[in-house]
Amino acid sequence: MAEVLVYVDHADGAVRKPTLELLTLARRIGEPVAVFLGAGAEDAAPTLAEYGATKVLAADEPEFVEYLVVPKVDALHAAFAHVSPAAVLVPSSVEGKEIAGRLAVRTGSGLITDAVDVEAGEDGPVATQSVFAGSYTTKSRITKGTPVITVKPNSAAPAAAPAAGSVERLAVTVAEASKGTEVVSRTARESTGRPELTEAAVVVAGGRGVNGDFSAVEALADSLGAAVGASRAAVDAGWYPHSNQVGQTGKSVSPQLYIAAGISGAIQHRAGMQTSRTIVAVNKDEEAPIFDLVDYGVVGDLFDVVPQLTAELDARRR
Amino acid sequence: MKTLRIVVCVKYVPDATCDRRFADDLTVDRDDLDGLLSELDEYAVEQALQIKEAVDDAEVTVVTVGPEDALGALSKALSMGGDKAVHVEDDDLHGSDVLGTSSVLARAIEHTGYDLVLCGMASTDGGMGVLPSILAERLGVPQLTQLSELTVKDGVVTARRDGDLASEQLRASLPAVVSVTDRSGEARYPSFKGIMAAKKKPVETLDLSDLGIAADEVGLAAAWTKVDEAAQRPPRTVGTILADDGSGGRQLADFLAGRRLV
Ligand SMILES: Cc1cc2nc3c(=O)[nH]c(=O)nc-3n(C[C@H](O)[C@H](O)[C@H](O)COP(=O)(O)OP(=O)(O)OC[C@H]3O[C@@H](n4cnc5c(N)ncnc54)[C@H](O)[C@@H]3O)c2cc1C
Ligand SMILES: Cc1cc2nc3c(=O)[nH]c(=O)nc-3n(C[C@H](O)[C@H](O)[C@H](O)COP(=O)(O)OP(=O)(O)OC[C@H]3O[C@@H](n4cnc5c(N)ncnc54)[C@H](O)[C@@H]3O)c2cc1C
């Protein structure tokens, strides 16, 4: 069977969930071969194997951290040349998309970004995209070269399918031209201990309506084991970090449950949450457009409704 | 020649607040829809103007690849303060994907001459967010993308890129391709004077032959990708909406429990 390259997203060897989803999707098209860049391949290999990686091609060059993005393209390109894959799947992160785009140019291949599903088709893999703020669903194929597809988080339920997953060293030469942008320093973000926004099963989001106070939103999130999201209005006001922004210029999320508190539901916000399974809103304006989307809506003051919900959930658990 | 030649890539897109849809050939239906300069490209124009204002001798050229109406995007960018415009327009471009568009744009930028190419973080229609990176690959120059802060001095770009896991401080030498986010600083509104002045600014119109590109290298037929289906998502069926009578939180808990979401 043809091999499919899967670019691994990880934090120091801890494989992130979207990669497991990619391995699961890759098995529909062929045999997944994982490409692991950076330190920790040996730690990651058992997990990658469990989800179907037949091989783990690993490289750890200092240039991956010293320069922006392009050295990783050199490495993925080396893996591509080594394997001659039937397709390449990359997680749809900012960096993932850039790596995929450059690989597509180098290999004369078509590119599809932000797929929410990938299936095998007669003429190669078929990718589903959700476009125009989630109002259309498209199915597309790549007609030239080797399909390069980036896939959004929460696009598949990871399913185990153990394979060999042996680690092979990948020989990579980082070209001089790939060292154009130096990473002078890197300041890691503090972890909040809450789930990753794009991967979470439940997201509780606050907007301008929280009026500077996210504590009710955070308390509900913690009661549900949820990630916290924010509208751009809340982020622009400085109430919450931009990394938690949901929408067109923030994260796009697709959880089982999305709870919007004090968010009006502007098109740019909807673009990032419209495909959530169940949508709930609390807003004191019954005319707010967010109510066009909801499975359940409460017209009321979030400072009454949200704490009552949190208390009720906590009480029922006792 | 100006010492700092800045090229800003701007896209003309259908208004996101209208009902956007697909035409019969599954490309974006651009007829009967209001179009505008992709809002996120205003941030790129703004940064270009700020850089220009900080150095003695810079020139800002705004470039678009798009249909006749795309002139509207160029006019807006010129009225904000761009110096001149380049419009690549050719019927054979219809239906180009990102690989096609980027190769045309790269050729147009080379034709214009550049030290710094500025882009938006993503268009508001296709929204792939990859074109700047692909452009850097094609032009063979450094990429500094998704920046929230940017300074250009003595031929060196220093910048900050805020990612999910870390915030990175970056440095590269010109020429380079840059993209900026909506966090890079509010874009200015065109002044009345700016709007009047824009009408007199030069707009160069180029077709594929001017750029030495064969018609069969681009467009829908030559695209690297093919859209087979586009279906409107059924509108979400609106569920229960209730006015809080003092028990809204508890009723919400019942709903979530009923759906096995808690
Ligand atoms: C190019 C572009 C990109 C954008 N990208 C994004 C994006 O990524 N994400 C995003 O969110 N926005 C984005 N926006 C902004 C978007 O258009 C809206 O301005 C924004 O989403 C509004 O945020 P909001 O709903 O929190 O605020 P508002 O629209 O002001 O709504 C606040 C809501 O809170 C309600 N409220 C107030 N007090 C209470 C209370 N005590 N209890 C209950 N309800 C209350 C009000 O009734 C109101 O409906 C973008 C805009 C542009 C032009
Ligand atoms: C809903 C939808 C989905 C699509 N999906 C795909 C896909 O999966 N694969 C594919 O190959 N093509 C796809 N396309 C086509 C693609 O959007 C266009 O070819 C487009 O020109 C480049 O992509 P973008 O608009 O997404 O650019 P982005 O990468 O989002 O744009 C970033 C920046 O590049 C600059 N820029 C982009 N386009 C132009 C332009 N025409 N002129 C000047 N500057 C520009 C702007 O500065 C912009 O801010 C899609 C189009 C639509 C409408």
Choose between B145 and B234: higher pLDDT: B145
* Residue pair B143/B132 in contact by the 8 Å Cβ criterion: yes
Residue A35: φ, ψ to 5°: -115, 115
> Domain of A278?
202-317
- A74 lies in a domain? yes
Domain co-membership, A163 together with A229: no
- Structural domains in chain A (count): 2
- A99 lies in a domain? yes
Given the structure tokens 């622009």, which residue do they identify? A236
Lowest mean pLDDT among A64-68, B16-20, B86-90, B166-170: B16-20
Write down the pLDDT at residue B235.
83
CA atoms within 13 A on the CB side of A82: 19
Q: What is the mean pLDDT of chain B?
A: 94
Write down the pLDDT at residue B1.
65
Residue A277 confidence (pLDDT) above 80 = yes
Domain co-membership, A153 together with A255: no
B133-185 confidence digits (pLDDT tens): 999 999 999 999 999 999 999 999 999 999 888 999 999 999 999 999 999 99
Structure pTM? 0.95
CA atoms within 13 A on the CB side of A292: 11
Give the ranges where chain A is alpha helix by DSSP (H): 17-26, 41-50, 63-66, 70-83, 94-106, 215-224, 232-236, 267-270, 302-317
A249 to chain B: which residues are within 8 Å by CB? 40, 121-122, 181-182
Residue B3 confidence (pLDDT) above 90 = no
Please, which pLDDT band fits residue A145 given cuts at 50, 70 and 90? Answer: very high
Question: Given the DSSP bridges, would you call strands B143-153 and B156-162 parallel, antiparallel or unpaired?
Answer: antiparallel
Contacts of B154 (CB under 8 A, 6+ apart): none
| Host H or E run for residue B133 | helix B131-139
d(Cα B165, Cα B163) in Å, to the nearest integer?
A: 6
Domain co-membership, A170 together with A310: no
Length of chain A as a residue count:
318
Tell me, in angstroms, the distance from the centre of ligand 1 to residue A291's CA. Answer: 13
Domain co-membership, A213 together with A103: no
B195-208 confidence digits (pLDDT tens): 999 999 999 999 99
- A60 lies in a domain? yes
Gyration radius (Cα) of chain A, Å = 21
- A188 lies in a domain? no
Q: DSSP secondary-structure letter at B66?
A: S
Domain co-membership, A147 together with A251: no
Given the structure tokens 């009345």, which residue do they identify? B192
Residue B59 confidence (pLDDT) above 90 = yes
Give the ranges where A165-301 is alpha helix by DSSP (H): 215-224, 232-236, 267-270
Instruction: Scan residues 26-45 of B and list those with Cβ closer than 8 Å to A.
Output: 26, 40
Can you read off the two tokens belonging to residue B14? Answer: 């259908």
Domain co-membership, A103 together with A225: no
B231 to chain A: which residues are within 8 Å by CB? 136-138
Domain co-membership, A142 together with A17: yes
| Host H or E run for residue B85 | strand B84-88
Residue B37 in contact with ligand 2 by CB distance below 6 A: no
3-state secondary structure of B254: helix
B17-50 confidence digits (pLDDT tens): 888 888 888 888 877 678 999 999 999 999 999 9
Write down the pLDDT at residue A247.
96
Could you give all domains of chain B from N- to C-terminal order, each with its CATH number?
A: 4-217 (3.40.50.620)
- A248 lies in a domain? yes
B23 vs A: CB within 8 A: no
Residue B219 in contact with ligand 2 by CB distance below 6 A: no
Tell me, in angstroms, the distance from the centre of ligand 1 to residue A267's CA. Answer: 10
d(Cα A142, Cα A137) in Å, to the nearest integer?
A: 17
Specify the CATH number for the domain of residue A65.
Answer: 3.40.50.620
Tell me, in angstroms, the distance from the centre of ligand 2 to residue A259's CA. Answer: 31
d(Cα A43, Cα A39) in Å, to the nearest integer?
A: 9
B191 vs A: CB within 8 A: no
d(Cα B228, Cα A95) in Å, to the nearest integer?
A: 28
Specify the CATH number for the domain of residue A262.
Answer: 3.40.50.1220
Domain co-membership, A160 together with A216: no
Q: A313 and B253 in contact by Cβ < 8 A?
A: yes
Domain co-membership, A256 together with A295: yes
A65 vs B: CB within 8 A: no
Q: A249 and B121 in contact by Cβ < 8 A?
A: yes
Domain co-membership, A312 together with A231: yes
- A105 lies in a domain? yes
* Residue pair A52/A161 in contact by the 8 Å Cβ criterion: yes
- Report the candidate in A242, A236, A317, A231 with the shortest Cα–Cα distance to residue A281: A231
| Host H or E run for residue B136 | helix B131-139
Mutation pick from B133, B158, B220, B240 vs chain A, by most beta carbons of A within 10 Å, is B133
- A109 lies in a domain? yes
- Report the candidate in B137, B140, B129 with the shortest Cα–Cα distance to residue B179: B129
Domain co-membership, A217 together with A85: no
A82-117 confidence digits (pLDDT tens): 999 999 999 999 999 999 999 999 999 999 999 999
Residue in B with minimal Cα distance to A183? B170
Query: Which residue, judged by its Cα, is nearest atom 52 of ligand 1?
Result: A268
Tell me, in angstroms, the distance from the centre of ligand 1 to residue A284's CA. Answer: 13
Residue B92 Cα distances to B51, B65, B96, B111, B207, angstroms: 35, 12, 9, 19, 9
Domain co-membership, A173 together with A42: yes
Write down the pLDDT at residue A205.
98
- ipTM confidence: 0.95
d(Cα A292, Cα B36) in Å, to the nearest integer?
A: 26
Residue B176 Cα distances to B1, B2, B84, B187, angstroms: 18, 17, 20, 22
Measured in whole angstroms, the distance separating CA A267 from the mean position of its chain's CA atoms is 21
Please count the residue pairs, one from chain A and one from chain B, whose beta carbons lie less than 8 angstroms apart: 258
A211 vs B: CB within 8 A: no
A281-301 confidence digits (pLDDT tens): 999 999 999 999 999 999 999
Write down the pLDDT at residue B260.
92
Indicate the residue among A121, A147, A179 that finishes a domain.
A179
- A197 lies in a domain? no
pLDDT, mean of residues A237-253: 95
- Report the candidate in A232, A220, A286 with the shortest Cα–Cα distance to residue A257: A220
**Which amino acid is located at A259 in the chain?**
I
Q: DSSP secondary-structure letter at A107?
A: T
